[in-house]
Amino acid sequence: MNDIITIGDAMIAFNPSDTGPMKFVPSFTRNIGGAELNVAIGCSRLGLEAGWISRLGDDEFGKYIRNFARGEGIDTSQVGFVKGHPTSLNFKEIMEDGSVRTFYYRENSPTAAMTPDDLSEDYFKQAKILHITGIFPGVAEGNLDVTRKAIELAKRHGLTISFDPNIRLKLWSKEAISKVSKSFLPDVDILLAGTEEMEIILGENKPEKIIEACKPYAIDHIVLKQGEDGAAGYHNEQLVEAPAVPPRKVVDTVGAGDGFDAGYLYGYLNKWSLEKSLQFANTIGSMVVSVKGDNEGLPYLEDVQMKLGEIERIER
């Protein structure tokens, strides 16, 4: 049984060899990106059983991504290859302060070939959490119907539904993401969102205001990511704020939110307290930004335990 399954597009992520404006960068290295795949990788490295539902181009890049995911211990039985849809790409621009701009080439995403009928009901029967984001519905027009079908199957079989809006304004408008996100919220059990994202969705950016605006949706866990200000969580009418964990150095901010999500879901599955789950998730987010790449910095469980001072690693 999978502890968590997720559904989304994956890309070849080209990371720059140097910091600065992309037009002056002479070369790039090939890596792998995609928020939903990153969460699956993060969960797998923490020791959870993770599955990923997707489509990839029937090309060398697609085969590379599938093999990489399998190497990370992720169940790829629901990943297929399609012709006529090249594997998605992105190029990153990283500045000296670690800030990032992303340039997408995913207009003809292989996931556009998916239909709701492609989802296996048996696959959902054998999972505990469905993790979705606002990226997948924005990548291709038909992906919204696929996402709604995934939610329907998850609800039918008692899965916990985790949702990270993960807003990408290069994919669709604020109005569209707000409308779609609101339509998901009644079925969401765990909301993992940035406060800036919730301002777009609900018009509020303060934790207390966001929580109040979410009450009509009866969301069990409301978790708000605030970057340098840490995170806030709300569960059982309890609001907990957890301070940020200072990173060694900010190198690349991409993937930090995905690592945070994996950390919180790990705590949820282990029935940790809200405070412990937030601290664990904040620690992972901090570790991710210290490493260049979308998922290269996602830690293994023992790495997080060492960072938290729970275990000691003998180096020599």
Whether residue 133 contacts residue 53, with contact meaning beta carbons closer than 8 Å, is answered with no
C-alpha to C-alpha distance for 48 and 304, rounded to whole angstroms? 14
Phi, psi of 262 (to 5 degrees): -60, -40
- Asked which of 244-248, 272-276, 303-307, 309-313 is least confident by mean pLDDT, the reply is 309-313
Each residue of 207-225: b (16+ CB within 10 Å) or e?
Answer: beebbebbeeeebebbbbb
* Residue 48, CA atoms < 13 Å, CB-side half-sphere: 27
pTM (2 d.p.): 0.94
Higher pLDDT, 292 or 150: 150
Average pLDDT, rounded, for the chain: 94
Using CA atoms, how far residue 262 sits from 36, 96, 192, 233, in Å, is: 10, 27, 10, 15
Chain segment 253-268, per-residue pLDDT in tens = 888 999 999 999 999 9
Q: Band of the pLDDT at 316, cuts 50, 70, 90?
A: low
Element (H, E) at 148: helix 143-156
* Angle at the Cα of 136 from the Cα atoms of 241 and 158, rounded to 5 degrees: 65
The DSSP output letter for 135 is: S
Q: Band of the pLDDT at 271, cuts 50, 70, 90?
A: very high
Residue 18 is among the residues annotated as catalytic for this protein: no
Question: Hey, what amino acid is at 169?
Answer: L
Q: Which CATH class is domain 2-307?
A: alpha beta
What per-residue confidence (pLDDT) applies to 150?
A: 98
Whether residue 87 contacts residue 12, with contact meaning beta carbons closer than 8 Å, is answered with yes
What per-residue confidence (pLDDT) applies to 92?
A: 87
Question: Hey, what amino acid is at 305?
Answer: Q
Element (H, E) at 304: helix 301-307
Chain segment 87-125, per-residue pLDDT in tens = 999 998 988 887 888 899 988 999 999 999 999 999 999
Res. 285: pLDDT tops 90: yes
Q: Which of 189, 258, 294, 303 is catalytic?
A: 258
Identify the CA nearest to 92 among candidates 19, 196, 169: 19
Domain boundaries, the chain: 2-307
Give the three-state DSSP class for 139. Answer: helix
Q: Band of the pLDDT at 315, cuts 50, 70, 90?
A: low
Chain segment 41-98, per-residue pLDDT in tens = 999 999 999 999 999 999 999 999 999 999 999 999 999 999 999 999 999 898 888 7
Each residue of 135-168: b (16+ CB within 10 Å) or e?
Answer: bbbbbbeebbebbbbbbebbeeeebbbbbbbbbb
Res. 252: pLDDT tops 80: no
Q: Structure tokens of 273?
A: 């307290």
Q: How far apart are the first and last CA of the chain?
A: 38
What per-residue confidence (pLDDT) applies to 314?
A: 67
Give the three-state DSSP class for 24. Answer: helix
Residues contacting residue 172 through CB under 8 Å, at least 6 positions apart = 138
What per-residue confidence (pLDDT) applies to 312?
A: 76
Identify the CA nearest to 261 among candidates 295, 236, 293, 211: 295
Mean pLDDT of 273-279: 97
Residues contacting residue 16 through CB under 8 Å, at least 6 positions apart = 22, 25, 27, 28, 91, 92, 93, 94
The segment with the largest mean pLDDT, out of 15-19, 171-175, 213-217, is: 213-217
